Amino acid sequence: MTQQVKLFIDGEFVHSNSDKLIPVTNPATQEVIAQVPCATTTEMQQAIDSAKAAFKTWKEVPVSERARLMMRYAQLLKDHQGEIAAIICEELGKTVEDAKGDVWRGIEVVEQAANIPSLMMGETVENVARSIDTYSYIQPLGVCAGITPFNFPAMIPLWMFPMAIACGNTFILKPSEQDPMTVNKLAELFVKAGAPKGVLQVVHGAKEQVDTILHHPDIKAISFVGSVNVGQYIYKTGTDNLKRVQAFAGAKNHMVIMPDANKQQVINALVGASVGAAGQRCMAISVAVFVGSAAEWIPEVAAAIGKVGPGHYSNDKAAYGPQISPQAKARILSLIAQGKKEGATCLLDGSDCQVDGYPNGNWVGPTVFSDVTTEMEIYKQEIFGPVLTTMTVANLDQAIELVNSSPYGNGTSIFTASGAAARKYQHNIEVGQVGINVPIPVPLPFFSFTGWKGSFYGDQHAYGKQAVRFYTETKTITARWFDDDIQVSGPNMSINLR
């Protein structure tokens, strides 16, 4: 009998009464390692009621105490980084190094949440009119919720609840049903750090549980990360229900390679950024755009990518792990087949990939296409696998035009030795996160994660100052204190302050 993943409601890890269970499998072996319950309507309501009750007291906790909770939490996450990474390896198949990175990039957000007192400072102006001062405070919203994807089971939940809770909110988290156990460990450590009962709730499940969150009147703000179709649905439904929503969605990230770039740096960057993490990163480079004579490097890029391959996390030589599910693998293989049918040249084909000792793993070998055009499905769709498509253009202007015509705008990079080319690219490109000789420019948490266009629906982004704006309201106070000696001048019949 495999374990059933517990819900975390009202400060307790509880066994769900649900009869709807989803198997959680180890993607390297297909072994069922747990069953995740789809929380019942009653359990969802209990979680929301508990978060609502906890908000009444949590919002009154001094901001410096809330910051100290985050300091203790960051330390505990560091102390248990290896243990959390081991859970990620088992349920998602990442290599140990990559799994530790997943935890680390989340810890950095918790460290930023520990700076909450200065982030929550309002504004003041004295004497906006005679003897009148105006000042603003930032106050929490209430119960907020997060819905997270499978590909970063530690980092993305940690983008959300620490900032929301540091701001004084309470939080309901619905992690991916494909790898739900990492979040339970994060919740366990949050309790150990001293989080009061009810401040964080973890509900498990899938669409039905998300729909409860989308329609529940007590939930004020929703943060979502996942695929583009679901992101659009969450944004539309959540905002129709008058909630504040930020939805981070899919991507198709281009790297532009100028002929003056350092060839070896380009090759190294492309190997890691295209097939690293099995291509299951929203900031993966999936399109390499070679400008002019840089196109001559394409065979060498394909050869370098062909030297790495997937493997089990117990093998420290494995460059990346399996795809999350047999369905995800089948989808990638069908896109590879379609790419060939549509006329792209497959320089490296990972469709038939085996890993010794793990015949049932969802392995896809590194794959590289050339002669790709914008009409092909391998260009249009987010493949979310270890597949790099390469294209060629004559000059930088054409590269910029190509990237700007993509409906997505999550990340992009340019490799060049020219400051002028880099400056032109960063200024003109319609993408929210730009790397200059940096392939995956994920900003550190004192900035925000600023995807654009079809990669993001909403206005305030994740972490940094924008997360504080997302999870709070601003209250502006205009105040006059009468001095008894001042003569009262009679009613003011205008809107002007005097």
Distance CA 221, CA 51 (A): 13
Distance CA 389, CA 373 (A): 9
**What's the min distance (Å) between Cβ of 58 and ligand NAD?**
25
Distance CA 383, CA 251 (A): 9
**What's the min distance (Å) between Cβ of 437 and ligand NAD?**
22
Distance CA 82, CA 90 (A): 12
Q: How far is CA 256 from the centre of its chain?
A: 24
- In DSSP terms, 387 is beta-bridged to 367
For every residue of 153-199, which 3-state class applies, written as one string? CCHHHHHHHHHHHHCCCEEEEECCCCCCHHHHHHHHHHHHCCCCCCC
Distance CA 161, CA 169 (A): 9
Active-site choice (38, 144, 167, 282) = 282
| Contact of 219 with 241, CB cutoff 8 Å | no
**What's the min distance (Å) between Cβ of 233 and ligand NAD?**
6
**What's the min distance (Å) between Cβ of 149 and ligand NAD?**
3
Verify whether residue 282 is a known catalytic residue: yes
**What's the min distance (Å) between Cβ of 146 and ligand NAD?**
9
Of 5, 39, 7, nearest to 20 (Cα)? 39
Distance CA 325, CA 250 (A): 18
Nearer to ligand NAD, 238 or 350 (CB): 238
| Contact of 164 with 51, CB cutoff 8 Å | no
DSSP single-letter state for residue 265: H
CB within 8 Å of 19: residues ≥ 6 apart: none
Nearer to ligand NAD, 147 or 258 (CB): 147
Nearer to ligand NAD, 208 or 473 (CB): 208
- For the chain, the first-to-last Cα distance in angstroms comes to 75
**What's the min distance (Å) between Cβ of 498 and ligand NAD?**
49
Nearer to ligand NAD, 298 or 336 (CB): 336
**What's the min distance (Å) between Cβ of 358 and ligand NAD?**
22
Taking CB atoms, the residue at the shortest distance from ligand NAD is 226
Distance CA 37, CA 177 (A): 9
Q: How far is CA 295 from the centre of its chain?
A: 33
Nearer to ligand NAD, 151 or 413 (CB): 151
* Residue 356 phi, psi dihedral angles, 5° rounding: -55, 130
H/E element, 133 = strand 132-140
DSSP single-letter state for residue 462: B
In the β-sheet with 143-147, what is the strand arrangement from edge to edge?
A: 12-14, 7-9, 200-202, 170-174, 143-147, 219-225, 244-248, 456-457
**What's the min distance (Å) between Cβ of 474 and ligand NAD?**
26
Q: For binding to ligand NAD (CB under 6 A), which residues are involved? A: 147-152, 174, 176-177, 206-207, 210, 225-227, 230, 233, 248-251, 282, 382, 384, 410, 451, 455
Beta-strand relationship, 124-129 and 472-480? unpaired
Nearer to ligand NAD, 248 or 297 (CB): 248
Nearer to ligand NAD, 88 or 249 (CB): 249
| Contact of 52 with 142, CB cutoff 8 Å | yes
Nearer to ligand NAD, 140 or 250 (CB): 250
H/E element, 396 = helix 396-404
Beta-strand relationship, 434-436 and 412-415? parallel
DSSP single-letter state for residue 40: -
**What's the min distance (Å) between Cβ of 207 and ligand NAD?**
4
Nearer to ligand NAD, 346 or 431 (CB): 431
The catalytic residue positions are 282
